Structure 1
């Protein structure tokens, strides 16, 4: 039983760390000042502490609604990351216009999906370790603070050294994360169904999944080709 507890606890910390690093990467690629990054990290830590304090008083039945909200927001954020990632990259490459200080918010600000994940992290952490909700929120908040501050500083340093500190890099990362979000929504239900989890009774059609992936890839390739043709035509007309 202790191995299961350790596994769940490690999963909570791993998921929280990934969320924190995602936000930190967004801060680092958008050129935020160190003070601004630390402020955002503090907001995440405080939010986790508050969520941990109230997690124990929320009925268990409400957790299903929280999971459902997280899945819906996961889809919306995935689509938004793809769209605004393309816009960020296009605005910089075509017009030399930097809109990264607005679009990075999709990666860095606490969204409903991140809040739902934080709530579930605090809930699982208190259930597996037996600590209080406030202590769990404090630990999760500390992971968020360290991950955002460290991830932001490391990303900023790496991109400067590699000469990639421009909005186009942020656009590429947002596009990648958006496609990853959407891919997770296709794969996770299939995995849950394979594990016979009736609580997540989501019908999965392999042919439909394949068609969705093909359409997604075709749209990306079509957009890239159209942008390349447009740039070639503009250079040829000058």
Structure 2
């Protein structure tokens, strides 16, 4: 039983750390200073503390509604990340306009999906560890604080060393995260439904799979070539 508890605790902390790193990456790519990143991380920590303090007094029905709202907002945030990621990248590459000071907020501010995930983390941690809600909120908030600061400082350092600290990189990361959010919403329900489905054999067509792979590769190569040609024309062959 203790192994199960340890596994669930590690899962709670792992999920919280990933959310914190996401926020830190947004801060690091947007060019925020350390003091500003610390202020944003403190907002996360304080929010988690408040959520932990009230998590035990919320009815079960309301808890289910909060989790359901988090799933809906997960979809909204995923679509918004894709849209504004493309806008951020396009504005920089086409017009040399930096709008990352606004669009990075989608990655870094406590959105409803992050708040629902924080609520769920505090709720699970209080159940499996037997601690009070305030203690759970303090622990989850501490993970958020450290993860955001480490993610922001690490991202800023790496992108500076690689000469990649620009709005285009932020747009790429936002686009990737948005697609990842949407993919999770598709895969997780399908996986849960597959657990109750009877096992059956699936006939595969190697030739068809190879053709699909070739077509995907060709489309990616064509897009990269078109972008290269456009970049050469825009910059006069340099």
Shared fold per TM-score greater than 0.5: yes
Partner of 2:194: 194
Looking at CA atoms only, which structure, 1 or 2, has the larger radius of gyration?
2
Deviates more, 1:226-235 or 1:37-46: 226-235
Q: How many residues align?
A: 218
Deviation of 1:164 (Å): 0.4
Q: Does 1:143 align with 2:143?
A: yes
CA deviation digits over 1:207-226, x for unaligned, max 9?
A: xxxxxxxxxxxx99998888
Partner of 2:61: 61
Unaligned runs of 5+ in 1: 198-218
Partner of 1:93: 93
Distance 1:77 1:225, change over 3 A: farther
Partner of 1:184: 184
d(CA) in 2 for partners of 1:105, 1:224: 29
Partner of 1:76: 76
1:110-149 mapped onto 2 (5 Å cutoff)? 110-149=110-149
Partner of 1:33: 33
Partner of 1:7: 7
Distance 1:33 1:3, change over 3 A: same
d(CA) in 2 for partners of 1:221, 1:81: 24
d(CA) in 1 for partners of 2:223, 2:47: 38
d(CA) in 2 for partners of 1:121, 1:170: 28
Distance 1:17 1:232, change over 3 A: same
d(CA) in 2 for partners of 1:49, 1:220: 46
Distance 1:127 1:188, change over 3 A: same
Unaligned runs of 5+ in 2: 198-218
1:146-225 mapped onto 2 (5 Å cutoff)? 146-196=146-196
TM-score, normalised with respect to structure 1:
0.84
CA deviation digits over 1:165-202, x for unaligned, max 9?
A: 111100000000000000001000011112349xxxxx
- Partner of 1:53, secondary structure, is helix
d(CA) in 1 for partners of 2:112, 2:191: 24
Distance 1:222 1:136, change over 3 A: farther
RMSD: 2.5
